[in-house]
Structure 1
Amino acid sequence: MLRYTLRQIEYFVAVGEAGSIARASERINVSSPSISAAITQLEAEFGLPLFVRQHAQGLSLTQAGRQMMDQARIVLREAGALMDIAGDIAGSVRGPLTVGCLVTFAQLVLPSLRRGFEATYDDVKMRQHEMNQVELFSALRRSEIDVALTYDLGLPADLQFTPLLKLPPIALMGENHPLVGQDSVTIDDLLKHPMVLLDLPLSSDYFLSFFDEIGEKPVIAERTRDMAVMRSMVGNGFGYSIANVRPLSHTSPDGNYVKCVPITGPVRPMRMGLLTAQDVHRSNAVRAFIDYAIGMVRDGRLSQIGGLPLV
């Protein structure tokens, strides 16, 4: 007879992924004492220590905990599959849904998309993760997320992409940049000016490919992996940068002016869309989320970030 619950297993996985009870509490919106009690009960039931308690560094999985973690994820996926079957039979949209989003535009797109979806389907329990492109690929393959909102960057053949928006590249410039007064710029125009490179896996290769096409290299003055830091560095005059999603304001996070200038010429636009694993059963919740995102694009509710609808 089982003396542990799916909820306890869920808390265990949340702590294992977050690395601390406090971060897991924030992620799944459950009190820390409740999560701590669940972990203690699981360890007593299994007769194994699942975590090593490190006072200043949170929790780390023991060897036994790592093995149990792999199986716990399978248990939760199978439990989710039961909900999917029930939903299919009843024709309802319900159960868990975990969405990943590319970190560069998560702040501009995901909260409004999630809020609208949850208001429409209140029986869906949704979680979100912000990751870079390589992390999204890995999370989809390991079934840690059900669907990813991302760009068509380096897409592997075993994942399926549903395009939503075409987003041409733009240059971001501070108010004193020599090119800030122009209506558009070319890569040749940018070539001699310092660049703040958004240095994320695959994203940086995409931006640098513009210069490769003309047989040149940009003057990379600074690199950062954070979109907000990039905008602040641009606003403080460290150089221009390149992005595909248009910020919602002309102000950097630290209050400086940043202008978006279209890049013209032979530069490949990015496509934003939804990425899923191929040849897997899509739950009603996943299908509903994809349909909802397509509806948002068709209704113009993502027009604030720029781009042309592809659906």
Structure 2
Amino acid sequence: MSSFTIRQLEYFVASVEAGSLTGAAKLCQVSHAGIANGLNELERTVGTQLLVRRKAKGVVPTAAGRAMLPLARNMLRDAAGIDLLGQSGQEELTGELVIGCNLALSPVLIPLIASEFADQHPKVHVVFRERPGAEILQLIREGQVDAGLMLQRQMPNDLEYVSICPVRVKVALAISHPLATRTSISLAELAREPAITPDGPALKAMLSVLEEAGVEPDIRWTLSSPETIRAMVSRGLGYSLLNVFPPISDTGGPAVAAVPVNDQLSGNALVMALPPRRRRISTVEKLSEILHGAEVRALLT
């Protein structure tokens, strides 16, 4: 049997994902020479060239390297699972957990996650990266976060994710709006009202929902901040569609009504996206446990 190591497989996968040995060294937090030596030993052990190294142009996998890549990733995941078993008997988790969170989700999820870890595992240093969805995806691909909290409609095909719970689209209305006291609403009822939309990928997602409901929106403003959108809505300047509405008591922000949509729409969900190479799996599993709790589901559905 070949005597390669998990570390060598990690170097190989990191080199392919980063596209260079320098990038792999940064991801793995080792020297360039350490990456190169590990790859040389791996290729010697398996008896074939896995990467073509081009000076100043990075690396590309050979045919053998492309065939080995999914096998190597699976072995790294299995090794991480063994590590989790080894840590399962520990009374308290430690270390750092870096979480990327979509800006629209962060007002609800970050306070909940922070308080849960503070109560249950205070020795875990939880770091949050609040970014728009596209930037969170980039952080995940680069391995700069241990997990990313996103909506399923934002997820590309090349990233793995864990589905947490369904998310029901709601209409944000000023509390003085005639429809604000309804238990549900059809988007067609808002067809002639001004819409306030997010920008970037979130705009595309909102437009797809409206298109699915057969509504062509009258877009008056396109804004980046969910809190700014909420403030505009609270003044009666238009409606918006947001998947997450933090409780007023949690944010102290302007009051809006969140009325569920009763149109038959394609499903959406909160997901936990994972980088190609998982690290600190025990803390990520704990995060998943928190997210699957009843409190998160109650806030999103």
Q: Which residue of 2 aligns with 1:3?
A: none
- Give the residue type in structure 2 aligned to 1:226: S
RMSD: 3.2
Check the 8 A contact 1:198/1:227 in 2, yes or no: yes
Per-residue deviation at 1:112? 1.8
Give the secondary structure class of the aligned counterpart of 1:266. Answer: coil
Per-residue deviation at 1:248? 0.6
Q: Which residue of 2 aligns with 1:244?
A: 243
Per-residue deviation at 1:213? 2.5
Q: How far apart in 1 are the matches of 2:120 and 2:186? A: 43
Task: Single out whichever of 88-97 and 118-127 deviates more from structure 2.
Answer: 88-97
Check the 8 A contact 2:195/2:219 in 1, yes or no: yes
Structure 1 residue runs of 5 or longer lacking an equivalent are 1-66
1:184 has 2:178 as partner: no
- Give the residue type in structure 2 aligned to 1:96: E
Q: Which residue of 1 aligns with 2:43?
A: none
Per-residue deviation at 1:234? 0.5
Task: Single out whichever of 152-161 and 210-219 deviates more from structure 2.
Answer: 210-219
Per-residue deviation at 1:249? 2.5
Per-residue deviation at 1:106? 0.5
Count of aligned residue pairs for this structure pair:
231
Mapping for residues 1-311 of structure 1, pairs under 5 Å:
71=25, 74-75=28-29, 89=86, 91=88, 92=90, 93-199=93-199, 201-249=200-248, 255=254, 257-278=255-276, 280=278, 283-294=281-292, 297=293, 300-307=294-301
Q: How far apart in 2 are the matches of 1:236 and 1:96? A: 41
Q: How far apart in 2 are the matches of 1:250 and 1:90? A: 37
Q: In 2 relative to 1, CA 140–303 (structure 1 residues): closer, same or farther, beyond 3 Å?
A: closer
Give the secondary structure class of the aligned counterpart of 2:295. Answer: coil
Q: In 2 relative to 1, CA 281–108 (structure 1 residues): closer, same or farther, beyond 3 Å?
A: closer
Q: How far apart in 2 are the matches of 1:251 and 1:88? A: 36
Give the secondary structure class of the aligned counterpart of 1:245. Answer: coil
Identity of aligned pairs, percent?
A: 19
Check the 8 A contact 1:153/1:202 in 2, yes or no: no
* Cα distance per residue 1:11-35 (max 9 Å; x no partner): xxxxxxxxxxxxxxxxxxxxxxxxx
* Cα distance per residue 1:185-231 (max 9 Å; x no partner): 212111111011122x3222121112322554200111111111111
Q: Please report the TM-score for the alignment, with normalisation by the length of structure 1.
A: 0.64
Check the 8 A contact 1:100/1:129 in 2, yes or no: yes
Q: How far apart in 1 are the matches of 2:30 and 2:125? A: 13
Check the 8 A contact 1:246/1:304 in 2, yes or no: no
Q: How far apart in 2 are the matches of 1:224 and 1:153? A: 20
Q: How far apart in 2 are the matches of 1:213 and 1:226? A: 25
- Give the residue type in structure 2 aligned to 1:274: M
Q: Please report the TM-score for the alignment, with normalisation by the length of structure 2.
A: 0.66
- Give the residue type in structure 1 aligned to 2:237: F
Q: In 2 relative to 1, CA 306–87 (structure 1 residues): closer, same or farther, beyond 3 Å?
A: closer
Per-residue deviation at 1:75? 1.5
Check the 8 A contact 1:195/1:219 in 2, yes or no: yes
Give the secondary structure class of the aligned counterpart of 1:231. Answer: helix
Per-residue deviation at 1:246? 2.8
Check the 8 A contact 1:192/1:218 in 2, yes or no: yes
Q: In 2 relative to 1, CA 119–76 (structure 1 residues): closer, same or farther, beyond 3 Å?
A: farther
- Give the residue type in structure 2 aligned to 1:235: S
Q: In 2 relative to 1, CA 288–306 (structure 1 residues): closer, same or farther, beyond 3 Å?
A: closer
Check the 8 A contact 2:188/2:215 in 1, yes or no: no
Check the 8 A contact 2:197/2:241 in 1, yes or no: yes
Per-residue deviation at 1:169? 0.7
